[in-house]
Amino acid sequence: MIEWSREKRYRKIEEAKKEEIFELNKKVKECPFRQMYHIQPPTGLLNDPNGFSFYNGKYQLFYQWFPLGPVHGLKYWYHTSSTDLVNWENHGIGIEPGDWFDSHGAFSGSGIVDNDKLYLFYTGNTRDENWNRVPYQCLAIMDKENNIVKHKEPIISTIPEGYTDHFRDPKVFKVNGEFYLVVGIQNNEFKGRIVYYKSKDLINWEYRGEVKTSLDNFGFMWECPDYLELDNKGVIIFSPQGLDKEGDKYANIYQSGYIVGEKLDLNTGEFNHGEFVELDNGFDFYAPQTTEDPDGRRILIGWMGLPEIDYPTDKNGWAHCLTLPRELKLNKDRLIQTPIKELEKLRSNHRSLNEKIEATEKSFDEFHGEQYELNCEIKDFESGKLGLKLRVSENEETVISYDIDNNKLTIDRSKSGEEFALEWGTTRSVDITCKTLKLRIFVDTSSIEVFINDGEKVLTSRIFPSKESRGIKFFATKKCSISADIWSINEK
Ligand code: FRU
Pocket test for ligand 1, best of 47, 127, 253 (most atoms within 8 A of CB): 47
Instruction: Say if ligand 1 is within 6 A of residue 397 CB.
Output: no
**C-alpha dist (Å) from residue 338 to 77, 101, 428, 454, 477:** 27, 39, 20, 7, 29
* CA–CA gap between residue 287 and residue 46 (Å, rounded): 12
Instruction: Say if ligand 1 is within 6 A of residue 50 CB.
Output: no
Helix, strand or coil for residue 27? Answer: helix
CA angle 17, 81, 345 (to 5 degrees): 120
Ligand 1 atom, smallest distance to 109 CA: 10
Ligand 1 atom 8: the closest Cα is on which residue?
A: 223
Residue-by-residue DSSP string for 307-318:
TT---GGGGGTE
Q: Ligand 1 centroid to 40 CA: how many Å? A: 17
* CA–CA gap between residue 3 and residue 70 (Å, rounded): 10
In the prediction, which pLDDT does 3 show? 80
Instruction: Say if ligand 1 is within 6 A of residue 307 CB.
Output: yes
* CA–CA gap between residue 272 and residue 265 (Å, rounded): 9
Ligand 1 atom, smallest distance to 169 CA: 10
C-alpha 472, offset from chain centre: 26
Ligand 1 atom, smallest distance to 122 CA: 10
Active-site option among 48, 102, 226, 280 = 48
Instruction: Say if ligand 1 is within 6 A of residue 446 CB.
Output: no
Instruction: Say if ligand 1 is within 6 A of residue 271 CB.
Output: no
Nearest-CA neighbor of 288 among 242, 243, 237, 330? Answer: 237
48 labelled catalytic: yes
Instruction: Say if ligand 1 is within 6 A of residue 85 CB.
Output: no
**pLDDT tens, per residue, the chain with 492 residues:** 668 999 999 999 999 999 999 999 999 999 999 999 999 999 999 999 999 999 999 999 999 999 999 999 999 999 999 999 999 999 999 999 999 999 999 999 999 999 999 999 999 999 999 999 999 999 999 999 999 999 999 999 999 999 999 999 999 999 999 999 999 999 999 999 999 999 999 999 999 999 999 999 999 999 999 999 999 999 999 999 999 999 999 999 999 999 999 999 999 999 999 999 999 999 999 999 999 999 999 999 999 999 999 999 999 999 999 999 999 999 999 999 999 999 999 999 999 999 999 999 999 999 999 999 999 999 999 999 999 999 999 999 999 999 999 999 999 999 999 999 999 999 999 999 999 999 999 999 999 999 999 999 999 999 999 999 999 999 999 999 999 999 999 754
* CA–CA gap between residue 255 and residue 343 (Å, rounded): 26
Which helix (H) or strand (E) covers residue 91, if one does?
Answer: strand 89-95
Neighbour-count burial of 3, counting CB atoms closer than 10 A to its CB (0-12 exposed, 13-18 middle, 19+ buried): exposed
Residue-by-residue DSSP string for 325-343:
PEEEEEETTEEEEEE-GGG
Instruction: Say if ligand 1 is within 6 A of residue 281 CB.
Output: no
Q: Ligand 1 centroid to 35 CA: how many Å? A: 23
In the prediction, which pLDDT does 490 show? 75
Instruction: Say if ligand 1 is within 6 A of residue 102 CB.
Output: no
Instruction: Say if ligand 1 is within 6 A of residue 125 CB.
Output: no
Whole-model pTM: value is 0.98
Q: Ligand 1 centroid to 48 CA: how many Å? A: 7
Helix, strand or coil for residue 14? Answer: helix
Helix, strand or coil for residue 346? Answer: helix
Q: Are 183 and 207 spatial neighbours (Cβ–Cβ below 8 Å)?
A: no
Pocket test for ligand 1, best of 45, 223, 253 (most atoms within 8 A of CB): 223
Q: Ligand 1 centroid to 60 CA: how many Å? A: 19
